[in-house]
Amino acid sequence: MKTVEKIVEEIITKLNITSAPVNVEGIAERCNVQVRRASAKNISGLLYRKDGVAFMAINSEEPIVRQRFTIAHELGHFFLHHTKDTFIEYRDNKKKVVRGFKEVEANSFAASLLMPQDFLKRDVDANKHALSEDDVKSLANKYKVSEIAMTYRLTHLNLLKSH
């Protein structure tokens, strides 16, 4: 079975994405996924699909970096969890433990898409010294993700250790 990382790499190659920040909304559009925004209390994002197209709603009240992560997360469901029938996927914004295997997968899809392994490695390699807190901050800015997401991703890719 292909890893999520591998699947994302293929998407990035196929769509000819070469630099950060990754335009997740543009990717959605190109894949026939509509993205619209509205405010909601307890939902960050929702993906609804029918007839081979998909409709996404994103919570407009949340910070941009969070919205980007939500779009990427819902795209994860779109790409990884194929279902033929009408289907609803949520990302709720309650700070509880992430439910289920699919949610974990969608999150790792989102991280891989927003912070592609190759791009990050290139950027970290260009840095002569071990990454400082400020470096992580500026990487987060460059990739338009939260610092927490960036730190988590760097740790996951083993890029945070000192050189």
Which residues of the shown chain bind other proteins in the complex (CB under 8 A)?
Answer: 32, 34, 36-43, 46, 48, 50-53, 55, 57-60, 86, 88, 90
Q: How far is the CB of 60 from other proteins (least distance, A)?
A: 6
Q: How far is the CB of 94 from other proteins (least distance, A)?
A: 12
- In terms of CB distance, is 75 or 149 closer to other proteins? 75
Q: How far is the CB of 48 from other proteins (least distance, A)?
A: 6
> In sequence order, what are the residues at sequence separation of 6 or more whose Cβ sits closer than 8 angstroms to the Cβ of residue 117?
5, 9, 157
Judge residue 116's burial from the number of C-beta atoms within 10 Å of its C-beta, 0-12 exposed, 13-18 middle, 19 or more buried.
buried
- In terms of CB distance, is 11 or 56 closer to other proteins? 56
- In terms of CB distance, is 36 or 129 closer to other proteins? 36
The DSSP symbol for 151 reads H
- For tokens 């559009």, name the residue: 29
